[in-house]
Structure formats: C-alpha cells, structure tokens
Amino acid sequence: MNKKNKIALVTGASTGLGKSLSLKLALKGFKIVLASRNIEKLNSLKELISENGGDSQIIPTDVTKEKDVKKLYSSIEIDNVDVVVNNAGFGVFNKIQHTTIKDWDNQLNTNLRGSFLITKYISESMINRKKGKLVFINSIAGINAYPYSSAYVASKFGLRGFTSSLREELREHNIKVISVHPGAIDTPFWNNVNVDFPSSEMLKSDDVADVIVHAIISPNNLVQEEIVVRRTAGDF
C-alpha cells in the first residue's frame, strides 16, 4: 500500500492503546491526526512521533459533540484520510441500582454516539473514493456480558451491532470495517476501577496495537472483519 500523504485519524489518541496505535502507524508512514480532549498529552505524543521521524497533527476533539467532529474534519485534508480508528472509550462499573443516569449517558455517548459521529462525517468521502478503513476498538464486553457493567456492555453490544450493519452497507464501496474486541488492557482506563486482577497480567497496549496495525496494512483484497484479542490463559 502506498502510504504517501495518507492520513490515519485516531480518536482517544492521548493514552493507552490510542497512543500505541498512533506511534506505530506513524512509523508505517501515515500522517497521524491525533484527536482527544487532553491537549497536554497530545503535545507529548506529537513530540514523541516527531522524535521517531513521523508526522502528526493535533486537533482537540470531544467525539460526543457534533460541532467538534465537524471542526475536526474541516481542519484536515479529508480526502486523504485512509484510516479512521475509533478508539475513544469510557467505562464505569457498578451495580445497576448504583449506576447513575450521568454514568449511563456518558458511556453510551462516548462508546457509541462518538463512533457514529466520527463515521458519519467521513463516510461520504470514503464512498466517493471507494476506499478506506474504519477501525472500531470495541471490547470482549461487546461479545460476552459481565456483571456490574450494564451500561458499558450495552454500549459495546450496540457498537458491535452498529459496525456489523455498517460493514454490510459499505462493502460494495470497497470500504473495510474492522471491529476489534480486546480483553483487559493495561492502560489508564483502569486507574479508577476497582478490579480483582493485577494490571501486570493484562494485555499490553503495544501487543494489541501490533495486531491492529497488521489488519490495517493487510492486502486490499482481504479484510479481518472481527478480531478478538485475549490472553492465552483466557479472561480473568
């Protein structure tokens, strides 16, 4: 694949898997559009990419806000966007009676609405060009249900349904839709979550990113539609 002038947009790029993906895609020759709400961390990542010979652009973005997403696409060369990685995610884990309306809305908005908005405003350009790759970072919780996670699981099951429908809709336009379902990854996502398994035994961001990058740069005549990445030992 000729990656000259090709852009990869990564949401939730400032930490964790988004950071790993941004750096690895930059090393593959993509210009990276770094989208996140944390400008300070994006600046650090941009510097790291530059130190490794890559090119990137920072656009502060809240993916749940339509005006932010429209501004994002108006700020870049949209017809050069070859890859979009919907990575922004949010989770709160609690018993249903203790789950607040705010927690429910925040998870559905970030995990589902955000992916919808990011996809909606790039789809026409990709359809017109008859090419593009849409990557959605889902979760093993989009396949298997877990207790104390009703809002998070609902958002991830919804995201899986969204991507499955989208895949069939865009197939005739030669657009790849890749859904990734990792198990627990050792990222700041878990910093404020009370879990009974050690971070040292979680998946590593760089390892999961390697799997995703491989799928992104695979030959144009094939697509890895759903990718499940788990510990060899299984879930906790």
The catalytic residues are 152
Residue 159: name the closest of 144, 179, 145, 176 by CA.
Answer: 179
Counting every residue, how long is the chain? 236
Contact, 62 vs 47, CB < 8 A?
A: no
Residue 133, SS3 per DSSP = strand
**From CA 155, how far away is CA 82, in angstroms rounded?**
26
What token pair was written down for 126? 């990709």
**From CA 69, how far away is CA 64, in angstroms rounded?**
8
Burial string for 190-203 (b: 16+ CB within 10 Å, else e) reads: beeeeeeeeeeebb
- Residue 75's contacts (CB-CB under 8 Å, 6 or more residues apart) are 57, 59
Owner of token pair 């964790």: 16
Residue 13: name the closest of 106, 113, 135, 97 by CA.
Answer: 135
Check residue 76 and report its DSSP letter: S
What token pair was written down for 66? 């339509």
